[in-house]
Amino acid sequence: MPLRQPAPDLDDLRRGLLQDADRLDRVLFSPPLDDSHYYHWSQLLRRDPPEGLTHEEWWFRLKLQRSSQSRTVALRAKHGSAFTFSMTDELLQLTEEIGRRAGGSVAGEGGALTPHGRDRFIVRSLVEEAITSSQLEGASTSRRVAVELLSTGRDPRTKSERMILNNYRAMRLVTESSSDPLTPAWILELHSVLTEGTLDDPSDAGRLETPDHERVSVWAGEIHVHVPPPAEELPARLHELSAFANGSAADSPFIPPIVRAIITHFMFGYDHYFADGNGRIARTAFYWSMLHNGYWLAEYLTISKILRAAPGKYGDSYQYTEDDDGDLTYFILHQLRVIKRSLDELDRYIETKQRESRRVQFALRSAARDFNLRQIQILEWLTRENPAGVTSMEIANRFRVSTQTARNDLSYLESFDLLTRGAAKHPISWIPVSDLPSRLAALGDES
């Protein structure tokens, strides 16, 4: 939605204060104000100002405080002014926490989640991000169908399925190329992967907007929410953004790597380089930047899942930045909070999987009289990986037995109501029941 209350012009506020010396002194020499929430003007208006100040005076005083901790970014807004951000206490605290948690290891009982052992715990994150990032852009396929699509490798049947498959392939490309620098040519390639088979005009894939085409904008009904820079500026702006994204901690002024990744995300959405798919490539470029800067755990964070739960706040953070003279702090803080929530969800996921694993292992040991060693290994694999479905050929290849032996094993597990048989006849597929860990635990209790 468009902003109902744009920020007042600071020059107008300044001129008004200069006409009243007592009022000016009261604003300039008042004690420092609490700015821990970093409100935009439209948020400020819904709250009572500090005693003795009007809303306008409160805003003017906050803007003075923010200017003292503001840093300039080597990227231009569409009118030529530089973007800035403020190194607030919350921003510093969150960048330190996220850097420690996403770039180090995630501890868990029985060992840490290190780069070498992470697949034991996280098996669905790339799939989850591919699904929710596509859903943010309008894909309507259910999660179960999307998981089945990506797990089986079948061809997509709808545009929504194609979007999800494209997002998954793009995320894989990003993880494989994370050590390489960001270049305009690679961005065009990435856009081609993301949009293949999903655009009204197939020639738009991997092509920057040009002055010969109607410029894409962001609308809310009949109101322009965001008008991006002119198309003729896009090649130069993309080169500038690539140079910025490739910057390092040695650059001056110092920008924390996580903040650099977030600003890279913002700029793809702000510049709107393509006819479609700008949101998808913005989030994909963010993941590249995180991995490029050593935040290896970012590969297993589902940022889009949280953004999809509150899309309004995501849009507001863009608008607050543009309305407040290119102050990126609103967007940076919003994204840092989202990343922290994603890390918290990851921690809870790991804890749940560890508890689940212990219960399953205990149950299988207790129920050993019912299953042979290979069947126990199949059940452990099914609970750990949670595949959408499995065939006898897959089991035969994984456990190095004949397809008939694998089929017998799967049918035997089906007889305990641990698997259900899919509708397809060729090949036959067995689907783990949704509460498989609980059913295995119940089997252990009965022993």
Take residue 377 and report the two structure tokens written for it: 């290994």
Q: For residue 436, what pLDDT is reported? A: 87
Contact 163, 145 (CB under 8 A): no
Helix (H/G/I), strand (E/B), else coil: 255:
coil
Report whether pLDDT(53) > 80.
yes
H helical segments located in 40-183:
41-44, 55-68, 89-103, 125-136, 143-152, 159-176
Instruction: In whole angstroms, give the CA distance from residue 74 to residue 81.
Output: 10
Report whether pLDDT(444) > 70.
no
pLDDT band of residue 368 (cuts 50, 70, 90) is low
Q: For residue 270, what pLDDT is reported? A: 96
CATH superfamily of domain region 74-348 = Fido-like domain (1.10.3290.10)
Lowest mean pLDDT among 85-99, 119-133, 299-313, 403-417: 119-133
Instruction: In whole angstroms, give the CA distance from residue 412 to residue 392.
Output: 12
Burial grade of 417 (CB within 10 A; 0-12, 13-18, 19 or more) = exposed
Q: For residue 310, what pLDDT is reported? A: 73
Is 367-446 in CATH node 1.10.10.10? yes
Per residue, the 3-state secondary structure of 422-437, as one string, reads: EEEECCEEEEECCCHH
Indicate the Cα dihedral angle 354, 357, 362, 363, nearest 10°: 140
pLDDT band of residue 44 (cuts 50, 70, 90) is very high
Q: Span 25-52, mean pLDDT?
A: 92
pLDDT in tens, 285-334: 999 999 999 888 787 777 777 777 777 888 899 999 999 999 999 999 99
Report whether pLDDT(365) > 80.
no
Higher-pLDDT residue of 121 and 198 is 198
Indicate the Cα dihedral angle 159, 160, 163, 168, nearest 10°: -130
Report whether pLDDT(31) > 60.
yes
Contact 315, 279 (CB under 8 A): no
Lowest mean pLDDT among 71-80, 114-123, 410-419: 114-123
Q: Span 418-435, mean pLDDT?
A: 87
Instruction: In whole angstroms, give the CA distance from residue 110 to residue 172.
Output: 29
Contact 295, 257 (CB under 8 A): yes
pLDDT band of residue 120 (cuts 50, 70, 90) is very low
Take residue 319 and report the two structure tokens written for it: 């608008």
Domain ranges for the chain, please list them. 10-68, 74-348, 367-446
Report whether pLDDT(97) > 60.
yes
Q: Span 31-55, mean pLDDT?
A: 94
pLDDT above 70 as % of the chain: 92
Report whether pLDDT(109) > 60.
no
Contact 346, 106 (CB under 8 A): yes
Lowest mean pLDDT among 155-169, 260-274, 348-362: 348-362
> What average pLDDT is seen over the chain?
86
Q: Span 187-206, mean pLDDT?
A: 95
Q: For residue 231, what pLDDT is reported? A: 96
Instruction: In whole angstroms, give the CA distance from residue 349 to residue 357.
Output: 12
Q: For residue 1, what pLDDT is reported? A: 61
Q: For residue 190, what pLDDT is reported? A: 96
Q: For residue 445, what pLDDT is reported? A: 63
